[in-house]
Amino acid sequence: MEFAELIKTPRVDGVVLHRPFMPTVEGTLCLTGHHLILSSRQDNTEELWLLHANIDSIEKRFVGSLGTIIVKCKDLRVIQLDIPGMEECLNIASSIEALSTLDSVSLMYPFFYRPLFEVIEDGWQLFVPEEAFKDLESMTDEWRLSEVNKDFSVCPSYPSLLTVPKDIDDESLCKAASFRHGGRFPVLSYYHKKNGMVMMRAAQPLTGTNGRRCKEDEKLINATLCAGKRGYIIDTRTIAVAQQAKARGGGFEQEANYAQWRRIHKAIERSNVLQEGLIKLVEACNDQSHSMDRWLSKLEASNWQSNVKEILTTACLAAQCIDREGASVLVHGTEGTDSTLQVTSLAQIILDPACRTIRGFEALIEREWLQAGHPFQQRCAQSAYSNGKPRSEAPVFLLFLDCVWQILRQFPCSFQFNENFLIMLFEHAYASQFGTFLGNSVAERLKLLLSQKTVSLWSWVNRPQELERFLNPLYEPNNLVIWPSVAPQSLLLWEGVFLRWNRSTKCLDEAYQEMVHIIEYNKELQNKVNSLRRQLAQLETEDGPLQTP
Amino acid sequence: MEHIRMPKVENVWLVDRSSSRRTQVGTLYLTATHTIFVGKGSEDRNELWVLHSLVCNVVKHKASQSGYPLLIHCKNFQVIQFIFPQESDCHDVYISLSRLSRPEKYEELYCFSFNPNVGKAEREHSWDFLDLKAEYSRMGLPNKLWHVTPINREYRVCDTYPADLFVPKSVTLPVIVGSSKFRSRGRFPTLSYYCKENHATICRSSQPLSGFSARCLEDEQMLQAIMKSNPGSRFMYVVDTRPKLNAMANRAAGKGYENEDNYCNIKFQFIGIENIHVMRNSQQKLIEVSALRSPSMGEFLTGLENSDWLRHIKSIMEAGLFISKAVAEEGVSVLVHCSDGWDRTAQVCSVASVLLDPYYRTLKGLMVLFEKDWVSFGHRFSHRCGHLIGEAKEVSPVIDQFLECIWQLMEQFPCAFEYNEKFLISIHNHIYSCHYGNFICNSQKERKDLCIKEKTHSIWPHLWENKLDFMNPLFKPDQSQNQGLLRPSTAPYCFKYWRRLYNRFDRELHPRQSELDSLMTVKEETQQLEEELALYEQKMAVLDKEHAKTLYMQKGVLDSKQALWSLPLDTSLANTPQDYISGFIGGAPNVFTLQQGERESAEVCLYGDKTKSSDADNSDQESGVADFSSHSSGEESLPSEESVKDPDSDETGPNRA
């Protein structure tokens, strides 16, 4: 096996593990191809199983012959291993470094993982575009499923099936694709049943400096408007950024050519800026100086909360245009794979109650993230502790989850899932035994044969025994559009992720348990009362014999 | 009444600061006690009531196109903006309100005219609701080491202290008198909290008049006696809550702090909580930040940081934690003082008490704590809350900070408190409202002289009656986190901005669904179910056919409430988007053109018209105008200040103006 040569020392005894808010554990450290394992070999202490893929970076320190490795994980946890023996320590460190930065996707753990549970419902088959289109067909006949991208040649980052206006033929789609960055021509993202308005997404148009236009592109998006109606184009970039994009061949829709559309520019940061923000935020959260000024100024300087606010605001605006203005919307940024998806998916959570269920949310992630071609593997290659120069890493998906959490906080009874579900998704996007978040597009996933060779996250999550942890006890289906507040006073730091390892959660966990208990007890009583009521009613209708024993 | 220049003004605009769409026109009334706005036009009678005593200041703004604006800032952080069509009306209301909101005499305060429909006996009884003697005996006092000294019965030794004070049995009257002469304002060391389990105590006093070298044998004996009254310990802590620099500066004025060389077995410690002036300025900045209209995240966070408010809260919490740990973990007694011993000392002693003793985390217990550490020990409520016109420099949010410390603790220990956030906010409101007599005056003696108990009502029974609204559904007295000492983390990120207090009246900033309300409803329903279940089980046991029949008739009562607890969702509010891009959707074409370039401004107007009409269509779904009742200062509708109140139930209706 090829991992053996990377593992210089597979086993060290007498290693001491320090974890925040947990007792230290002394035991044997083992390295396998995919895991770092520390076992005390005592029954009552928890073992540590850490995926190498979860390791963001490591630091080594030596005091005499005692070596210390500080392991910083992508889920933001920091642990410390004290390893006796300098050579062992160096070997372990270099092995971890090599194993946590494997280049080849097919060497990743999901290709080796065999589930210990029986897969009842294959997650790979759960959310196919055909099914989603059937739902759409039941509501409107204005759309068709196009196979123009069957072999991914029109747009490598799009799936093979795309929902487009019925009246636009594949040839026009190809022409529109050539006018959009990365071939990402406008496609349907969401159909608002209430008023028939739609949200589409695309990449920036390639107008360039001399104002190129494309009749087919214009026709394509105009086909989504009702007669006499106008639509909104939400460009997630500021007008200045969009102007600059012209010099590189990109640009934005010219008013003259898109007379039926109004363009609104917002200011969602580009992904490399977001990555810097994450690094700064986590640094602030881990700052041990205990000074209030430093905390607040670092929090502010990270711009994380500003990003949350801007993304949420843009999503709310898109939702407002659709629901309140009765207008259709086209959303794009530059590539249409990052901020665009944040906006379209959040807008759906606001507008569509179905997206607030577990299944619906999974379907949303499939549709608007995985199939829509968010480059998960590139974006999640490194997390907040990466010390190298960021290439294309960015916490785009984490920001989306943060925004969902903000809405969840403001509407705690409207979501079928709880915070743990969102945290779980964050973890698995960065490191997982499942194949769901591997690859950068549908095409790549097909090539990797993920659905044959790996297990889908959904196959595991949707098992009743797992799902239980993720259910929101307060959930009561709410069919309304939910408008969150985006004021700074209303937006909170997502402590469940960013302070997760920095504080004891005992009291908060207890509170959650108590909440679950209160509601379960209520349900139990209701059942008891109902059954007693029935019994009594029965007794009442029965005849005398009972009275004369 | 002579201060009311203008009892009634018609056609006044009440501006909703969060959304110009909700602005409404109506009539403004000035009464002896309230400013009342009655909206007109809509089917609901929208009223806004503001107690004059809650008004912090009144400001006239520059005339605008729509008229003459008047801004009223309240002590409960409500900000109300009226626009008058006539300048003279605006000015008259301004002059009247400026006077009405700054009473010169106690007798002008609302509590002296507040006259709910209760008998004399009941009113007097309301003052017996809390009994500090009972509280001390709950702690285990008096005992063989501590007793009540009669020395201050007539308030002769210290006129800002209560009549009954606990001191070590071993100290003689001359020692107390001697010690009191060596302490600022005569506030000698006396007991605040006694820990039954290990005999450690928290004592409080003011600063010693030590200057650079003065000493006082009696004071030293006093401390020695306190230390010895805790047989298990060999020393005691003396905690000066001030920054060292401030304490040293005081020495020049003949005051200062204890010299460790003169006192046997004391460990002296500075804590570094800033003085009332720093706190006042800090809160002022915080209020400005909280009142910013659609600030950016950066503006908000920078403003929060620059206010220093959370840093101060943290320092108070740390001081409380230090003391409670000394008592609970080391079993060592602590003497706490600042300068006069009625601000920082009260804060720190009461925070420590909340951390130490689960009793103070119950409704009744918190009331007792207020009564003991704040009211009886002479926190200068009238000065600090600015009840009367007077020194602006005496005003300071000392009590706000204590309430906030409790709130911060609730965030960390959600199951440890019997009461919820609404209870704290209600208390806050009533500390400032002068609706009840409890928080009037600066000392027990002043209250006695003013016959507060004879002339006003007590707040506590009133809050107690409404306790269902104030209960924390997650409270678990038997849970581990509520056993013994609470050990909060004081890492900076554990201190949060208290939105529910500072943006209390900005409804759109709060979660649209409340976990708290949902859980409270579930618990209530559970209780009903329990009763029903007991009833049924009884019936089943008896198997009496006749009874079964009557029961059968009751069935279905709860069936209809199946999903009752999902109701707290304010559907109208949930369905109300706010301005996600200021002015864009609502019209205001100029905002849009800035973003859009000049070419499209014509289209924009078109759109503006369209959107306006669609707004009108949707207005029934917007929570809008029907909400005003919830903005009332809520005196009669207490405790649920957020609830809609019935205007007819008020004694002081607009017609009586």
Interface check A481 vs B, CB under 8 A: yes
Q: How many angstroms separate the CA atoms of B74 and B68, rounded?
A: 20
Interface check B600 vs A, CB under 8 A: yes
Q: What is the pLDDT of residue B639?
A: 36
Q: Which residues in chain A are closer than 8 Å to B514, comparing Cβ atoms?
A: 412
| C-alpha B113 chain-centroid distance | 23
Q: What is the pLDDT of residue B16?
A: 81
Q: Find out whether B558 and B529 touch, Cβ atoms under 8 Å.
A: yes
Q: What is the mean pLDDT of residues B152-171?
A: 96
Nearest CA to B157 out of B190, B194, B133 is that of B190
| Whether residue B585 has pLDDT greater than 70 | no
Distance between B522 CA and the closest CA of chain A, angstroms = 7
- A347 confidence band (pLDDT: 50, 70, 90): very high
Q: How many angstroms separate the CA atoms of B391 and B276, rounded?
A: 13
Q: Find out whether B449 and B293 touch, Cβ atoms under 8 Å.
A: no
Nearest CA to A13 out of A32, A24, A29 is that of A29
Best of B306, B312, B478, B512 to disrupt the A interface (most A CBs within 10 Å) is: B512
- B600 confidence band (pLDDT: 50, 70, 90): very low
CA B259, B263, B268: angle at the middle one, nearest 5? 55
Nearest by CB to residue B533, choosing from A412, A486, A528, is A528
Q: What is the pLDDT of residue B568?
A: 42
Interface check A468 vs B, CB under 8 A: no
Annotated binding-site positions of B:
275-276, 338-344
Nearest by CB to residue B580, choosing from A239, A320, A474, is A320
pLDDT: which is higher, B37 or B124? B37
- B544 confidence band (pLDDT: 50, 70, 90): low
Say whether the peptide bond before residue B142 is cis (omega within 30 degrees of 0): yes
| Whether residue B175 has pLDDT greater than 80 | yes
Q: What is the pLDDT of residues B613-625, one digit of tens each?
A: 333 333 333 322 2
Nearest by CB to residue A547, choosing from B545, B577, B578, is B545
Distance between A373 CA and the closest CA of chain B, angstroms = 28
Reported as type and span, the H/E element at residue A29 is: strand A25-31
Q: What is the pLDDT of residue B42?
A: 63
% of chain A beyond a pLDDT of 90: 85
Tell me the two tokens of residue A430: 């960065």
> How many Cβ atoms sit within 10 Å of the Cβ of residue B392?
8
Largest CA distance in chain B: 90
Q: What is the mean pLDDT of residues B241-263?
A: 95
Q: What is the mean pLDDT of residues B381-404?
A: 95
| Whether residue A491 has pLDDT greater than 80 | yes
Q: How many angstroms separate the CA atoms of A276 and A156, rounded?
A: 28
Q: How many angstroms separate the CA atoms of A369 and A442, rounded?
A: 10
Sign of CA dihedral B532, B538, B540, B544: negative
Q: Is A83 helix (H, G, I), strand (E, B) or coil?
A: strand
Subunit contact B536:A532, Cβ cutoff 8 A: yes
pLDDT: which is higher, B64 or A109? A109
- B545 confidence band (pLDDT: 50, 70, 90): low
DSSP B362: S
Q: How many angstroms separate the CA atoms of A119 and A121, rounded?
A: 6
Q: Find out whether B240 and B247 touch, Cβ atoms under 8 Å.
A: yes
Write out residues 538-597 of B within 8 Å (CB-CB) of A.
539-540, 543, 545, 548-549, 551-552, 555, 558, 562-563, 565-566, 568-569, 571, 574-578, 580-581, 584-585, 595-597
CA B20, B25, B31: angle at the middle one, nearest 5? 120
Q: What is the mean pLDDT of residues A241-263?
A: 95
Best of A510, A523, A524, A531 to disrupt the B interface (most B CBs within 10 Å) is: A510
CA B303, B308, B309: angle at the middle one, nearest 5? 95
Write out residues 292-331 of B within 8 Å (CB-CB) of A.
294-302, 304-305, 308, 310-311, 314
- B550 confidence band (pLDDT: 50, 70, 90): low
| Whether residue B603 has pLDDT greater than 50 | no
Q: What is the pLDDT of residues A460-477, one digit of tens each?
A: 999 999 999 999 999 999
Q: How many angstroms separate the CA atoms of B392 and B405, rounded?
A: 25
Q: How many angstroms separate the CA atoms of A35 and A48, rounded?
A: 9
B/e letters for B610-639, b = 16+ CB within 10 Å, e = fewer, are: ebeeebeebeebbbbbbbbbbbbbbbbbbb
| Whether residue B345 has pLDDT greater than 70 | yes
Distance between B451 CA and the closest CA of chain A, angstroms = 43
Interface check B19 vs A, CB under 8 A: no
Q: What is the mean pLDDT of residues B496-518?
A: 93
Interface check B416 vs A, CB under 8 A: yes
Q: Which long-range contacts (CB under 8 A, 24 or more apart) does B498-502 make?
A: B498/B404, B498/B407, B498/B408, B499/A489, B499/A490, B500/B421, B500/B425, B501/B77, B501/B400, B501/B403, B501/B404, B501/B407, B501/B424, B501/B425, B501/B428, B502/A489, B502/B77, B502/B286, B502/B287, B502/B290
Q: What is the pLDDT of residue B1?
A: 60
DSSP B153-197: TTS-S-TTS-S-EEEETT--HHHHHHHHHTBGGG---EEEEE-TT
Q: Which has the minimum average pLDDT: A10-19, A106-115, A167-176, B554-563?
A: B554-563
Annotated binding-site positions of B for substrate:
275-276, 338-344
- B62 confidence band (pLDDT: 50, 70, 90): very high
Which one of the listed residues B56, B338, B349, B385 is annotated catalytic? B338
| Whether residue A499 has pLDDT greater than 80 | yes
Q: What is the pLDDT of residues A125-162, one digit of tens each?
A: 999 899 999 999 999 999 999 999 999 999 999 999 99
Region of residue A208 (left: phi > 0; alpha: psi -120 to 50; beta: else): left
Mean pLDDT of chain B: 84
Residue of A nearest to B307 (CA): A293
- ipTM comes to 0.94
| Whether residue B561 has pLDDT greater than 50 | no
Q: How many angstroms separate the CA atoms of B216 and B256, rounded?
A: 13
Q: How many angstroms separate the CA atoms of B275 and B252, rounded?
A: 18
Interface check A267 vs B, CB under 8 A: no
Q: What is the pLDDT of residues A363-411, one digit of tens each?
A: 999 999 999 999 999 999 999 998 877 789 999 999 999 999 999 999 9
Alpha-carbon Rg for chain B, nearest whole angstrom, is 28
Nearest by CB to residue A511, choosing from B414, B548, B581, is B414
Q: What is the pLDDT of residue A46?
A: 74
Tell me the two tokens of residue B541: 């046991």
Q: Which residues in chain A are closer than 8 Å to B314, comparing Cβ atoms?
A: 292
Q: Which residues in chain B are closer than 8 Å to A194, comparing Cβ atoms?
A: none
Residue of A nearest to B520 (CA): A518
Q: Which residues in chain B are closer than 8 Å to A295, comparing Cβ atoms?
A: 492-493
DSSP A546: G
Q: Is B444 helix (H, G, I), strand (E, B) or coil?
A: helix
DSSP B581: S
Q: How many angstroms separate the CA atoms of A424 and A416, rounded?
A: 15
% of chain B beyond a pLDDT of 70: 81
Q: How many angstroms separate the CA atoms of B212 and B230, rounded?
A: 30
Nearest by CB to residue A489, choosing from B499, B545, B618, is B499
CA A280, A282, A283: angle at the middle one, nearest 5? 60
Q: Find out whether A231 and A330 touch, Cβ atoms under 8 Å.
A: yes
Q: How many angstroms separate the CA atoms of B146 and B150, rounded?
A: 13
| Whether residue B111 lies in the annotated active site | no
Residue of A nearest to B618 (CA): A324
Subunit contact A489:B290, Cβ cutoff 8 A: yes
DSSP B560: G
Subunit contact B493:A506, Cβ cutoff 8 A: no
| Whether residue A123 has pLDDT greater than 70 | yes
Q: What is the mean pLDDT of residues B117-124?
A: 85
pLDDT: which is higher, B123 or A316? A316
- pTM here is 0.90
Q: Find out whether B30 and B6 touch, Cβ atoms under 8 Å.
A: yes
Q: What is the pLDDT of residue A542?
A: 66
Q: What is the pLDDT of residue A441?
A: 97
B/e letters for A112-135, b = 16+ CB within 10 Å, e = fewer, are: bbeeeeeeeeebbebbebeebbee
> How many Cβ atoms sit within 10 Å of the Cβ of residue B21?
18
Mean pLDDT of chain A: 93
Q: What is the mean pLDDT of residues B356-382?
A: 97
DSSP B7-73: SEEEEEEEE-SS-GGG-EEEEEEE-SSEEEEEE-SSSS--EEEEEGGGEEEEEE---BTTBEEEEEE
| Whether residue B566 has pLDDT greater than 50 | no
Subunit contact A493:B515, Cβ cutoff 8 A: no
Q: Which residues in chain A are closer than 8 Å to B296, comparing Cβ atoms?
A: 306, 309, 488
Nearest by CB to residue A533, choosing from B413, B490, B555, is B555
